[in-house]
Amino acid sequence: MGVCSARPARGSVDDSSIPTGAFRKRGIPSAPKEGSARAAAVHDDNLAASSTTPLVFNPPTTPLRERGSEHGADQGSDSETDSIGNEEKSQKVRGSICALINRSQFIIENPGRLRDVYEVDDSKVIGEGAYGAVRKGRHRQTEQIRAVKTISKDNWKKLDRFKQEIDFMKMLDHPNIIKLFETFEDEATIELVMELCSGGELFERVLEAGRFTEAQAATVMQQILRAVFYMHERGVCHRDIKPENFLFLTKDPIENAILKIIDFGLSSKIDKPDTALKTKAGTPYYVAPEVLKGSYTRAVDVWSCGVIMYTLLCGYPPFWGKTDADVLVKVRRGNFTFEPRHWHHISQDAKELISGMLSFNPNSRISAEDALMHMWIKDTAPRAPASVGLDVKFVDNLRSFLDQNRLKKVALNVIASQLQEDKLQKLREAFVAFDTNGDGKLTHEELLAGLKQVGVDSLPSGTLKAVDSDNSGVIDYTEFIAAGLDRSLYLQEAVCYSAFRVFDIDGDGQITTEELNTILNKEDEHALAPTLLTRRHAIAEVIREVDADGDGKVSFKEFMAMMARQ
């Protein structure tokens, strides 16, 4: 497997009873035999198909919004005439356009056939499971290579779960979470277009290595905990953290490889840290004891992280048995040991962190945030270099971004969300280095402290507000990338065309006022302005800034000219 999982997480179940007989173990390291760090691995290809108990899926406690799905007709139209004539109000509205950008708005929902847009390699399935298959796809115009994940509409139960997974992927924006670029839906299928991860599963690396060095394990755990901490801050409990659900972006050595979490099939929305979940969901080796009791919180994700860390360092899991029933009995008890012959060389700090994550009492279990800040992670994982590799060009790009017109700022956010990670190495490393508390967001203080590393002691007034395109009060990953993009990256015609087609909804080669209004107002059409005509008036002015021939539309030629302007 070198790409996003096309199945519900292997060996995982979302059921009111977790039927142990349904598990055919797949690749789980067994207890160590004499003279061996672990025993041979075995397989589970399709848990759901083997289960005799109907799967009961748990919907999020708070339904996720689909783009434009929760808003009806515009309100307040009785004041439209006054609004149009109020220049002060109109200027305020125009200025707020870029404060409405949300990455989920730019994940295109295409009706029709994916194969009209992508050339799909049917000769090789690079991922397969109960939800369908994953293949490589090449965009016919831009030639970008993506991963294409397909699900049939035949099974509506799975389809609902699949759509929920899409909603989670749209709302999450983090360097260690897989990118979703666009979706296609026709009469028979729904297809996801995602970034291609070619470095293989974390699970496969565990099997190959037997066990990791502490430095390697710390590098991996740091990335996993960053993703989990970020998800928890965004109100998402994953519920199926395990090595099979992490892919490496490339085949680089562990110390340099980027890890991505790929599967949100069992995830649930949570309103607050102590939100109680009831559905028994997870995988026997990694599931927390309280899940088996039927009442738990997001702390279950930290337990799973503890199991992964234990396994990375010794080559076998802390709770093992010959059958799934044996495993679950040991999980319920929660007892584990650091066998001296396999753990004598492992530091006490590492053992302390594992013990904190595998605390049987979830109320005393360490949080993802505290685990990320633990001395073993901070002292053992590779440190950020004294200089993050940014130069004066980054500062110039940031200042240039502040001066751009509104449509170009939006376009740069679209481009930033669609570029492959291999094009963004320095910016990604800088974002991670600036994010000192590891929550996946930058405060004004973190941004300023980070920029001091490249000789910038102060920022222009309004920098945070200008870069914070979704008006959240912090700078998200894609927002940071957008503000720091170099012209050499975004002035490529294929890159700009990918952004242009996000706005060109009907595909006629022109961006209209109506199309831009639709895109910018997907998330909350009432936040942009109090009335429909005021919003349209503001967006029409954005169009006029770019519309060189005065036809009221933006062609791709005009779009490219806008992008090329300093």
Q: Which residue has the tokens 């190495």?
A: 425
**pTM for the predicted model, two decimal places:** 0.80
**Is 403 a catalytic site residue?**
no
* Maximum Cα–Cα distance across the chain: 84
Residues 6+ apart with CB under 8 A from 539: 97, 513, 516, 517, 520
The DSSP output letter for 277 is: B
Bigger pLDDT: 453 vs 444: 444
Helix spans in 294-362 (H)? 299-314, 324-333, 340-343, 348-357
Residue ranges covered by each domain of the chain? 13-58+200-380, 105-194, 392-490
CATH code reported for the domain at 13-58+200-380: 1.10.510.10
The span from the CA of 203 to the CA of 207, in Å, is 6
Instruction: Note the pLDDT tens digit of each residue in 131-150.
Output: 678 899 999 888 889 999 98
Annotated active-site residue in 15, 240, 263, 504: 240
Express each pLDDT in 383-436 by its tens digit: 655 455 666 778 888 888 888 888 898 899 999 988 888 888 889 989 999 999
Query: What's the one-letter identity of residue 489?
Result: L
CATH of domain 105-194: 3.30.200.20
Q: Binning pLDDT at 50, 70 and 90, where does residue 129 land? A: low
Name residue, tokens 């598990």: 23
pLDDT tens-digit series, residues 104-122: 778 888 888 899 999 999 8
Strands (E), 386-528: 441-442, 475-476, 510-511
- Report the Cα 353 to chain-centroid distance in Å: 25
The CATH H-level (homologous superfamily) assignment of domain 392-490 is EF-hand (1.10.238.10)
How far lies 496's CA from each of 44, 187, 334, 554, in Å?
43, 30, 53, 13
